[in-house]
Amino acid sequence: MESTIKAPKKIPPQHQDQQPGIEKKMHPRPIYDNDEPGSGKLKGKVALITGGDSGIGRSVAIFFAKEGADVVIAYLNEHEDAKETAAAVKKYGRDALLVPIDIAVEENCRHLIQKAIEYFGKIDILVNNAAVQYEQKDIEGISGEQLDRTFRVNIYSQFFLCKHARPHLKDGSVIINTTSITAYRGHETLMDYASTKGAIVSFTRSLSQSLVAAGIRVNAVAPGPVWTPLIPATFDEKKVEQFGKDSPIGRPAQPAEIAPCYVFLASKDSAFMTGQVMHPNGGNVVNT
């Protein structure tokens, strides 16, 4: 299927021994921008994006900047990747605040929100996107430490950030959570990860009901296979080489093919949508 993004059809074998992965070590490099101009849909807005240094988060930051938004980019410790993202944002004339932080800890989430408010004075859009995943062949291999870390990064952080952002969110504000196709299809070697993604779907639906009267919309995006640093950081070389080939389109998405969903959900184009999940997954039909 033809795309405006010239995505490579093959991915060579590769692996990284660190989570959540380093973008500059990937080959080919992911595609984050479609090089098309924005149309001012987010002019004057401020967006906070977790996991904004690379992957889907980087592309969302770039697409938001093209639409006129300034961005706060929260990330763990991938400093060079984060600097690249900030440079891309500034190329489109917008400002980027980099905040290295571990969002698994509630106090850090409170601090992140405060940093954003101190720097930009407001938050209009919160994108809960950061995640980790650790492959295990069976449930006996999932330690209590791994289970706790996966839940804390992937779903606890979303509760924490929404909780501490809530006093600053006003009528017209937007929250977008990144879930996954695994929330609907499961995954035999990512059981804890898929569980967190299922929790995010329920969290999104519940929070949307809680905040709808305040004029705050809450939606989610459930990508299928996407070529991001998390993939070579999770799977062995053979699985990386085959990654995404089982999708109907026959390849993984590039981040720039996922980011437009976030632009849509962040803008007035989706004013009649809340509590919903978008499914850019390469043609897989899921039970929503």
Pure H helices in the chain = 55-66, 79-91, 106-120, 144-151, 157-165, 182-185, 191-211, 230-234, 237-242, 255-266
Active-site residue identified among 75, 134, 156, 193: 193
Report the candidate in 120, 78, 131 with the shortest Cα–Cα distance to residue 95.
Answer: 120
* Cα–Cα distance for residue pair 123/111, rounded to 1 Å: 14
**What three-state secondary structure class fits 47?**
strand
User: Is 72 in contact with 101 (CB distance < 8 Å)?
Assistant: no
User: Is 60 in contact with 129 (CB distance < 8 Å)?
Assistant: yes
Question: What residues have CB less than 8 Å from 258, skipping those under 6 apart?
Answer: 56, 59, 221, 223, 226, 280
C-alpha distances in angstroms, 99 versus 38, 105, 112, 250? Answer: 26, 14, 7, 36
193 is catalytic: yes
Please identify every residue annotated as catalytic: 193
